[in-house]
A = this chain, B = another copy of it.
Amino acid sequence: MRPETIIEQTGDAIGPLDVQAAAGARARHARLTKPPGSLGRLEELGIRLAGITGAALPSIGRRVVIVCAADHGVTVEGVSAYPAAVTAQMIYNFVRGGAAISVLARRARARVLIADLGVNHDFPAELPIVHTKLGRGTANMAQGPAMSRPDAARAVAAGIRLAHRAARDGLPGGRRAGVRAGVARDTTLNAGAGAGPRAGRSTGCTVVGTGDMGIGNTTAASAIVAALSGAPARDVTGRGTGIDRPTWERKVAVIERALTVNRPDPVDPLDVLGKVGGYEIGAIAGVILGGAARRRPVVIDGFISGAAALLAVTLCPAVREYLIPAHASVEIGHRLVLERLKLVPLLSLDLRLGEGTGAAMAMHLLDDAVAVLRDMATFGEAGVAGPLPAAVAP
Protein backbone atom coordinates (compact mmCIF):
# COMPACT_ATOMS: atom_id res chain seq x y z
CA MET A 1 0.00 0.00 0.00
CA ARG A 2 1.22 3.53 -0.76
CA PRO A 3 2.54 5.28 2.36
CA GLU A 4 0.13 8.19 1.90
CA THR A 5 -2.78 5.73 1.73
CA ILE A 6 -1.62 4.05 4.95
CA ILE A 7 -1.55 7.45 6.66
CA GLU A 8 -5.00 8.34 5.34
CA GLN A 9 -6.55 5.03 6.38
CA THR A 10 -4.96 5.27 9.82
CA GLY A 11 -6.38 8.75 10.28
CA ASP A 12 -9.82 7.45 9.26
CA ALA A 13 -9.52 4.68 11.87
CA ILE A 14 -9.06 7.15 14.74
CA GLY A 15 -12.47 7.49 16.32
CA PRO A 16 -13.75 9.78 19.05
CA LEU A 17 -13.27 8.82 22.68
CA ASP A 18 -15.85 6.54 24.28
CA VAL A 19 -18.03 9.11 26.04
CA GLN A 20 -19.98 6.46 27.92
CA ALA A 21 -16.83 4.92 29.43
CA ALA A 22 -15.54 8.40 30.31
CA ALA A 23 -18.87 9.28 31.94
CA GLY A 24 -18.72 6.03 33.91
CA ALA A 25 -15.26 6.88 35.23
CA ARG A 26 -16.41 10.41 36.09
CA ALA A 27 -19.43 9.10 37.98
CA ARG A 28 -17.26 6.65 39.90
CA HIS A 29 -14.85 9.42 40.88
CA ALA A 30 -17.79 11.30 42.45
CA ARG A 31 -18.57 8.28 44.66
CA LEU A 32 -15.01 7.59 45.88
CA THR A 33 -14.03 8.56 49.45
CA LYS A 34 -12.51 11.98 48.77
CA PRO A 35 -13.92 15.40 48.01
CA PRO A 36 -14.98 15.33 44.35
CA GLY A 37 -12.20 16.65 42.13
CA SER A 38 -9.66 16.72 44.95
CA LEU A 39 -7.23 14.50 43.04
CA GLY A 40 -7.20 17.14 40.32
CA ARG A 41 -5.57 16.16 37.10
CA LEU A 42 -5.06 12.59 38.26
CA GLU A 43 -8.85 12.26 38.11
CA GLU A 44 -8.95 13.83 34.65
CA LEU A 45 -6.24 11.43 33.54
CA GLY A 46 -8.25 8.42 34.72
CA ILE A 47 -11.35 9.71 32.93
CA ARG A 48 -9.35 10.23 29.75
CA LEU A 49 -7.87 6.73 29.95
CA ALA A 50 -11.41 5.42 30.29
CA GLY A 51 -12.48 7.33 27.20
CA ILE A 52 -9.47 6.15 25.20
CA THR A 53 -9.63 2.48 26.15
CA GLY A 54 -13.42 2.26 26.24
CA ALA A 55 -13.57 0.88 29.80
CA ALA A 56 -15.00 2.91 32.68
CA LEU A 57 -12.57 1.01 34.89
CA PRO A 58 -9.52 1.18 32.63
CA SER A 59 -6.58 -1.12 33.14
CA ILE A 60 -3.04 -0.75 31.99
CA GLY A 61 -1.01 -3.74 31.01
CA ARG A 62 2.24 -3.89 29.16
CA ARG A 63 3.69 -0.64 28.05
CA VAL A 64 6.32 0.30 25.50
CA VAL A 65 8.46 3.32 24.78
CA ILE A 66 9.17 3.49 21.06
CA VAL A 67 12.45 5.30 20.45
CA CYS A 68 12.80 6.47 16.86
CA ALA A 69 16.33 7.34 15.75
CA ALA A 70 17.82 9.09 12.73
CA ASP A 71 20.57 11.47 11.73
CA HIS A 72 20.32 15.00 10.40
CA GLY A 73 22.32 16.49 7.54
CA VAL A 74 21.95 19.92 9.13
CA THR A 75 24.54 18.98 11.75
CA VAL A 76 27.27 20.01 9.24
CA GLU A 77 26.22 23.58 10.02
CA GLY A 78 27.51 23.16 13.59
CA VAL A 79 24.17 23.38 15.42
CA SER A 80 24.75 20.74 18.09
CA ALA A 81 27.03 20.37 21.09
CA TYR A 82 27.70 16.71 20.20
CA PRO A 83 29.20 15.04 17.13
CA ALA A 84 26.67 13.29 14.85
CA ALA A 85 28.34 9.93 15.55
CA VAL A 86 26.69 10.00 18.97
CA THR A 87 23.33 9.00 17.43
CA ALA A 88 24.64 5.55 16.50
CA GLN A 89 26.71 5.22 19.68
CA MET A 90 23.62 5.86 21.76
CA ILE A 91 21.68 3.13 19.93
CA TYR A 92 24.24 0.64 21.19
CA ASN A 93 23.91 2.19 24.65
CA PHE A 94 20.12 1.70 24.47
CA VAL A 95 20.55 -1.93 23.47
CA ARG A 96 22.98 -2.57 26.33
CA GLY A 97 20.58 -0.90 28.75
CA GLY A 98 22.89 1.90 29.93
CA ALA A 99 21.02 4.98 28.71
CA ALA A 100 18.62 7.12 30.71
CA ILE A 101 15.64 5.71 28.83
CA SER A 102 16.86 2.17 29.52
CA VAL A 103 16.92 2.87 33.25
CA LEU A 104 13.68 4.86 33.45
CA ALA A 105 11.75 2.44 31.23
CA ARG A 106 12.81 -0.45 33.46
CA ARG A 107 11.53 1.54 36.43
CA ALA A 108 8.20 2.05 34.61
CA ARG A 109 8.10 -1.64 33.57
CA ALA A 110 8.08 -0.50 29.94
CA ARG A 111 9.83 -2.22 27.08
CA VAL A 112 12.01 -0.05 24.90
CA LEU A 113 11.49 -0.59 21.20
CA ILE A 114 14.33 1.03 19.26
CA ALA A 115 13.90 1.77 15.59
CA ASP A 116 16.53 2.91 13.10
CA LEU A 117 14.68 5.21 10.72
CA GLY A 118 17.79 6.72 9.18
CA VAL A 119 20.93 6.59 11.27
CA ASN A 120 24.17 7.21 9.39
CA HIS A 121 25.68 3.88 10.46
CA ASP A 122 25.36 0.23 9.44
CA PHE A 123 24.00 -1.71 12.38
CA PRO A 124 24.52 -5.49 12.44
CA ALA A 125 21.33 -7.25 11.30
CA GLU A 126 21.21 -9.22 14.54
CA LEU A 127 21.10 -6.08 16.72
CA PRO A 128 17.70 -6.26 18.48
CA ILE A 129 16.28 -3.08 17.02
CA VAL A 130 13.74 -2.50 14.27
CA HIS A 131 15.76 -2.05 11.09
CA THR A 132 13.69 0.28 8.95
CA LYS A 133 16.29 2.65 7.59
CA LEU A 134 14.99 5.16 5.05
CA GLY A 135 18.35 6.81 4.40
CA ARG A 136 21.67 7.57 6.04
CA GLY A 137 20.48 10.78 7.64
CA THR A 138 18.56 13.57 5.98
CA ALA A 139 20.08 16.11 3.62
CA ASN A 140 21.11 19.52 4.97
CA MET A 141 17.84 21.49 5.16
CA ALA A 142 19.77 24.76 5.07
CA GLN A 143 20.55 24.07 1.42
CA GLY A 144 17.41 22.27 0.21
CA PRO A 145 14.74 19.83 1.37
CA ALA A 146 15.80 17.45 4.16
CA MET A 147 14.05 14.63 2.31
CA SER A 148 11.58 14.05 -0.49
CA ARG A 149 7.84 14.14 0.11
CA PRO A 150 7.53 10.36 -0.57
CA ASP A 151 10.26 9.75 2.04
CA ALA A 152 8.37 11.92 4.52
CA ALA A 153 5.26 9.80 3.95
CA ARG A 154 7.37 6.63 4.27
CA ALA A 155 8.70 7.83 7.64
CA VAL A 156 5.18 8.39 8.99
CA ALA A 157 4.00 5.03 7.61
CA ALA A 158 7.00 3.31 9.23
CA GLY A 159 5.97 4.82 12.56
CA ILE A 160 2.40 3.58 12.08
CA ARG A 161 3.78 0.08 11.54
CA LEU A 162 5.88 0.38 14.71
CA ALA A 163 2.77 1.23 16.73
CA HIS A 164 0.88 -1.74 15.30
CA ARG A 165 3.82 -4.02 16.03
CA ALA A 166 4.01 -2.79 19.63
CA ALA A 167 0.26 -3.17 20.08
CA ARG A 168 0.49 -6.70 18.71
CA ASP A 169 3.52 -8.13 20.48
CA GLY A 170 5.54 -5.25 21.86
CA LEU A 171 8.85 -6.78 20.86
CA PRO A 172 11.47 -5.61 18.43
CA GLY A 173 12.26 -7.75 15.44
CA GLY A 174 9.10 -9.85 15.72
CA ARG A 175 10.56 -12.27 18.28
CA ARG A 176 7.74 -14.12 20.03
CA ALA A 177 6.45 -15.27 16.68
CA GLY A 178 3.30 -17.23 17.17
CA VAL A 179 1.86 -14.83 19.71
CA ARG A 180 -1.23 -13.46 18.05
CA ALA A 181 -2.91 -11.61 20.86
CA GLY A 182 -3.67 -8.46 18.90
CA VAL A 183 -7.34 -9.12 18.31
CA ALA A 184 -8.02 -10.40 21.81
CA ARG A 185 -6.26 -7.35 23.16
CA ASP A 186 -8.47 -4.93 21.30
CA THR A 187 -11.55 -6.80 22.47
CA THR A 188 -10.44 -6.48 26.07
CA LEU A 189 -9.78 -2.80 25.69
CA ASN A 190 -13.24 -2.19 24.34
CA ALA A 191 -15.13 -4.60 26.52
CA GLY A 192 -16.63 -1.85 28.67
CA ALA A 193 -16.57 -1.20 32.38
CA GLY A 194 -14.76 -3.97 34.17
CA ALA A 195 -16.10 -6.63 31.85
CA GLY A 196 -12.86 -7.93 30.43
CA PRO A 197 -9.83 -9.44 32.09
CA ARG A 198 -6.95 -7.16 33.04
CA ALA A 199 -5.23 -5.95 29.92
CA GLY A 200 -1.85 -6.90 31.32
CA ARG A 201 -2.30 -10.53 30.44
CA SER A 202 -1.66 -10.06 26.75
CA THR A 203 1.80 -9.64 25.31
CA GLY A 204 0.73 -6.60 23.29
CA CYS A 205 1.31 -3.14 24.67
CA THR A 206 -1.64 -1.18 25.98
CA VAL A 207 0.21 2.09 26.48
CA VAL A 208 2.63 3.66 24.03
CA GLY A 209 5.27 6.24 24.94
CA THR A 210 7.19 8.19 22.32
CA GLY A 211 10.93 8.78 22.29
CA ASP A 212 13.63 10.10 19.98
CA MET A 213 17.34 9.95 19.31
CA GLY A 214 19.06 12.05 16.70
CA ILE A 215 21.86 14.56 17.06
CA GLY A 216 20.57 17.76 15.46
CA ASN A 217 16.90 16.98 15.91
CA THR A 218 16.01 20.00 18.03
CA THR A 219 17.00 22.07 14.99
CA ALA A 220 14.54 20.11 12.84
CA ALA A 221 11.84 20.22 15.52
CA SER A 222 12.20 24.00 15.91
CA ALA A 223 11.97 24.40 12.14
CA ILE A 224 8.81 22.24 12.04
CA VAL A 225 7.16 24.21 14.83
CA ALA A 226 8.13 27.54 13.23
CA ALA A 227 6.77 26.36 9.87
CA LEU A 228 3.46 25.02 11.23
CA SER A 229 2.82 27.90 13.65
CA GLY A 230 4.30 30.86 11.83
CA ALA A 231 6.29 31.76 14.95
CA PRO A 232 9.73 33.35 14.41
CA ALA A 233 12.55 30.80 14.57
CA ARG A 234 14.19 32.46 17.58
CA ASP A 235 10.98 32.13 19.60
CA VAL A 236 10.92 28.35 19.22
CA THR A 237 14.64 27.55 19.27
CA GLY A 238 16.37 26.44 22.44
CA ARG A 239 19.76 25.31 23.66
CA GLY A 240 19.26 21.65 22.63
CA THR A 241 21.95 19.49 24.19
CA GLY A 242 23.41 22.59 25.85
CA ILE A 243 24.94 24.84 23.19
CA ASP A 244 26.50 28.18 23.97
CA ARG A 245 25.10 31.52 22.84
CA PRO A 246 27.09 31.87 19.55
CA THR A 247 26.08 28.34 18.54
CA TRP A 248 22.46 29.18 19.40
CA GLU A 249 22.61 32.28 17.17
CA ARG A 250 23.97 30.10 14.35
CA LYS A 251 21.22 27.55 14.98
CA VAL A 252 18.53 30.23 14.67
CA ALA A 253 20.12 31.55 11.46
CA VAL A 254 20.29 28.03 10.01
CA ILE A 255 16.59 27.46 10.74
CA GLU A 256 15.68 30.83 9.19
CA ARG A 257 17.71 29.91 6.10
CA ALA A 258 16.04 26.49 5.89
CA LEU A 259 12.60 28.09 6.03
CA THR A 260 13.55 30.66 3.37
CA VAL A 261 15.17 28.15 1.05
CA ASN A 262 12.40 25.52 1.31
CA ARG A 263 9.21 27.55 1.90
CA PRO A 264 7.32 24.71 3.63
CA ASP A 265 3.52 24.94 3.32
CA PRO A 266 2.09 25.37 6.85
CA VAL A 267 -1.16 23.58 6.03
CA ASP A 268 0.59 20.56 4.49
CA PRO A 269 2.33 18.62 7.27
CA LEU A 270 4.03 16.17 4.89
CA ASP A 271 5.50 19.12 3.00
CA VAL A 272 6.81 20.58 6.27
CA LEU A 273 8.17 17.23 7.44
CA GLY A 274 9.91 16.59 4.11
CA LYS A 275 11.49 20.00 3.79
CA VAL A 276 12.67 20.75 7.35
CA GLY A 277 11.95 17.59 9.36
CA GLY A 278 13.65 14.32 10.10
CA TYR A 279 12.99 10.63 9.54
CA GLU A 280 12.54 9.92 13.25
CA ILE A 281 10.21 12.89 13.75
CA GLY A 282 7.98 11.63 10.94
CA ALA A 283 8.06 8.15 12.44
CA ILE A 284 7.03 9.51 15.87
CA ALA A 285 4.06 11.23 14.19
CA GLY A 286 3.23 7.82 12.77
CA VAL A 287 3.57 6.10 16.14
CA ILE A 288 1.10 8.62 17.54
CA LEU A 289 -1.41 8.04 14.73
CA GLY A 290 -1.01 4.26 14.84
CA GLY A 291 -1.29 4.16 18.62
CA ALA A 292 -4.49 6.21 18.56
CA ALA A 293 -5.93 4.03 15.79
CA ARG A 294 -5.44 1.05 18.14
CA ARG A 295 -7.10 3.05 20.97
CA ARG A 296 -3.90 3.20 22.99
CA PRO A 297 -3.10 6.18 25.16
CA VAL A 298 0.02 7.76 23.65
CA VAL A 299 2.33 9.38 26.19
CA ILE A 300 4.12 12.24 24.48
CA ASP A 301 7.66 12.94 25.67
CA GLY A 302 9.30 16.35 25.21
CA PHE A 303 10.01 18.81 22.40
CA ILE A 304 10.85 16.40 19.54
CA SER A 305 7.81 14.27 20.31
CA GLY A 306 5.80 17.48 20.68
CA ALA A 307 6.77 18.63 17.18
CA ALA A 308 5.76 15.19 15.92
CA ALA A 309 2.45 15.49 17.80
CA LEU A 310 1.84 18.85 16.12
CA LEU A 311 2.39 17.17 12.75
CA ALA A 312 0.09 14.29 13.71
CA VAL A 313 -2.73 16.56 14.90
CA THR A 314 -2.41 18.65 11.76
CA LEU A 315 -2.71 15.45 9.72
CA CYS A 316 -5.64 14.18 11.82
CA PRO A 317 -7.19 16.46 14.48
CA ALA A 318 -9.02 13.54 16.15
CA VAL A 319 -5.68 12.17 17.40
CA ARG A 320 -5.37 14.97 19.96
CA GLU A 321 -7.73 13.22 22.38
CA TYR A 322 -5.34 10.25 22.65
CA LEU A 323 -2.32 12.30 23.70
CA ILE A 324 -1.06 12.29 27.29
CA PRO A 325 1.55 15.05 27.59
CA ALA A 326 4.28 13.76 29.90
CA HIS A 327 6.24 16.86 30.86
CA ALA A 328 7.09 20.48 30.10
CA SER A 329 10.51 20.60 28.48
CA VAL A 330 13.07 23.33 29.03
CA GLU A 331 13.09 23.74 25.21
CA ILE A 332 11.24 26.99 24.57
CA GLY A 333 9.46 25.67 21.48
CA HIS A 334 7.75 23.00 23.54
CA ARG A 335 5.67 25.63 25.32
CA LEU A 336 4.19 26.78 22.01
CA VAL A 337 3.48 23.18 21.02
CA LEU A 338 1.62 22.51 24.27
CA GLU A 339 -0.37 25.73 23.93
CA ARG A 340 -1.41 25.00 20.36
CA LEU A 341 -2.39 21.44 21.25
CA LYS A 342 -4.11 22.65 24.45
CA LEU A 343 -2.24 20.06 26.49
CA VAL A 344 -1.16 20.52 30.12
CA PRO A 345 1.77 18.24 30.96
CA LEU A 346 1.82 16.03 34.04
CA LEU A 347 5.42 16.61 35.13
CA SER A 348 7.46 19.77 35.38
CA LEU A 349 11.04 18.66 35.94
CA ASP A 350 13.01 20.91 33.57
CA LEU A 351 13.95 17.92 31.42
CA ARG A 352 15.65 18.38 28.04
CA LEU A 353 16.98 14.94 27.24
CA GLY A 354 14.42 13.25 25.02
CA GLU A 355 14.75 9.50 24.36
CA GLY A 356 11.27 9.11 25.88
CA THR A 357 12.61 9.68 29.40
CA GLY A 358 9.73 11.97 30.42
CA ALA A 359 7.19 9.59 28.90
CA ALA A 360 8.59 6.72 30.97
CA MET A 361 8.41 8.75 34.18
CA ALA A 362 4.84 9.83 33.46
CA MET A 363 3.71 6.21 33.17
CA HIS A 364 3.78 5.91 36.97
CA LEU A 365 1.04 8.53 37.05
CA LEU A 366 -1.06 6.58 34.56
CA ASP A 367 -0.78 3.60 36.90
CA ASP A 368 -1.74 5.83 39.83
CA ALA A 369 -4.76 7.23 37.97
CA VAL A 370 -5.99 3.74 37.13
CA ALA A 371 -5.35 2.35 40.63
CA VAL A 372 -7.38 5.14 42.24
CA LEU A 373 -10.35 4.43 39.97
CA ARG A 374 -10.19 0.67 40.44
CA ASP A 375 -9.18 0.26 44.06
CA MET A 376 -10.55 3.12 46.17
CA ALA A 377 -13.65 2.55 48.28
CA THR A 378 -16.85 4.49 47.66
CA PHE A 379 -18.55 6.51 50.41
CA GLY A 380 -21.18 3.78 50.64
CA GLU A 381 -18.68 0.91 50.90
CA ALA A 382 -16.60 2.71 53.53
CA GLY A 383 -19.44 4.12 55.63
CA VAL A 384 -18.05 7.63 55.29
CA ALA A 385 -20.44 10.58 55.34
CA GLY A 386 -20.72 12.66 52.21
CA PRO A 387 -20.47 16.45 52.05
CA LEU A 388 -22.86 18.82 53.81
CA PRO A 389 -24.98 19.88 50.81
CA ALA A 390 -25.28 23.52 51.84
CA ALA A 391 -21.56 24.26 51.95
CA VAL A 392 -20.34 22.68 48.73
CA ALA A 393 -19.50 24.72 45.68
CA PRO A 394 -21.84 23.88 42.80
Binding site for B on A (CB under 8 A): 32-42, 78, 80-83, 85-86, 89-90, 92-93, 96, 98-100, 102-104, 106-107, 239, 241-245, 247, 330, 346-353, 357, 361, 364-365, 367-368, 371-372, 375-377, 381-388, 391-394
Output the least CB separation between A147 and chain B (Å).
Answer: 25
Per the bound structure, the CA–CA distance linking A98 and B349 in Å amounts to: 31
Chain B nearest CB: distance from A58 CB in Å? Answer: 15
Q: Of all chain B residues, which has the CB nearest A367?
A: B107
B35 touches A387 (CB 8 A): no
Q: Can you report 10 A-B residue pairs in the complex whose CB atoms are below 8 A from each other? A: A34-B353, A37-B352, A38-B242, A86-B385, A89-B382, A98-B376, A100-B372, A247-B391, A347-B348, A364-B364
Shortest CB–CB separation between residue A260 and chain B, in angstroms? Answer: 24
Known: A100-B39, A107-B371. A377 touches B242 (CB 8 A): no
Q: Are B371 and A106 in contact (CB under 8 A)?
A: yes
Closest 8 CB pairs between A and B? Answer: A98-B377, A40-B350, A364-B364, A38-B353, A35-B241, A89-B384, A93-B382, A244-B393
Residues of B within 8 A of A391 (CB): 78, 80-81, 243-244, 247
Contact A83 B382 (CB under 8 A): no
Known: A347-B347, A393-B244. A82 touches B388 (CB 8 A): yes
A244 contacts B394, C-beta separation under 8 Å: yes
Give the docked Cα–Cα distance between A104 and B376 (Å).
9
A242-B35, A349-B346, A377-B93 given; A387·B103 CB < 8 A: no
A342 to chain B, nearest CB (A): 16
Which B residues are CB-close (under 8 A) to A347? 346-348
Complex interface: chain B residues within 8 A of A102 (CB): 375-376
- Chain B residues with Cβ below 8 Å from A247 are 391
Contact B103 A40 (CB under 8 A): no
Contacts A385-B85, A387-B82 given; does A35 touch B352 at CB 8 Å: yes
Given A371-B104, A377-B96: A330 touches B81 (CB 8 Å cut-off): no
Q: Are B392 and A242 in contact (CB under 8 A)?
A: yes
Choose among B38, B106, B346 the residue that contacts A352 (Cβ–Cβ < 8 A): B38
| Contact A350/B41 with A93-B33, A383-B89, A388-B81 known, Cβ cut-off 8 Å | yes
- CA of A285 to CA of B100 in the docked complex: distance in angstroms? 36
Cα separation A361 to B347 with both chains bound (whole Å): 11
Q: Are B89 and A385 in contact (CB under 8 A)?
A: yes
Given A107-B371, A348-B348, is A33 in contact with B98 using a C-beta cutoff of 8 Å? yes
Q: Which residues of B contact A352 (CB under 8 A)?
A: 35, 37-38, 40
Residues in B whose Cβ lies below 8 Å from that of A394: 244
4 new A-B pairs (CB below 8 Å) besides A39-B351, A80-B388, A82-B388? A78-B391, A82-B387, A96-B377, A347-B348
Q: Indicate if the CB atoms of B351 and A35 lie closer than 8 Å.
A: no
Give complex CA distance A364, B367 in Å. 11
**Within the assembled complex, what's the spacing in Å between the Cα atoms of A78 and B33?**
21
Shortest Cβ distance from residue A63 to the other chain B in the assembled complex, whole angstroms: 14
Is A104 a contact partner of B35 (Cβ separation < 8 A)? Answer: no
A393 & B239 in contact (Cβ 8 Å cutoff) = yes
User: Closest B-chain residue to A239, C-beta based?
Assistant: B393
Given contacts A107-B371, A239-B393, contact A42 B349 (CB under 8 A): yes
- Whether A349 lies near B41 (C-beta < 8 A) is yes
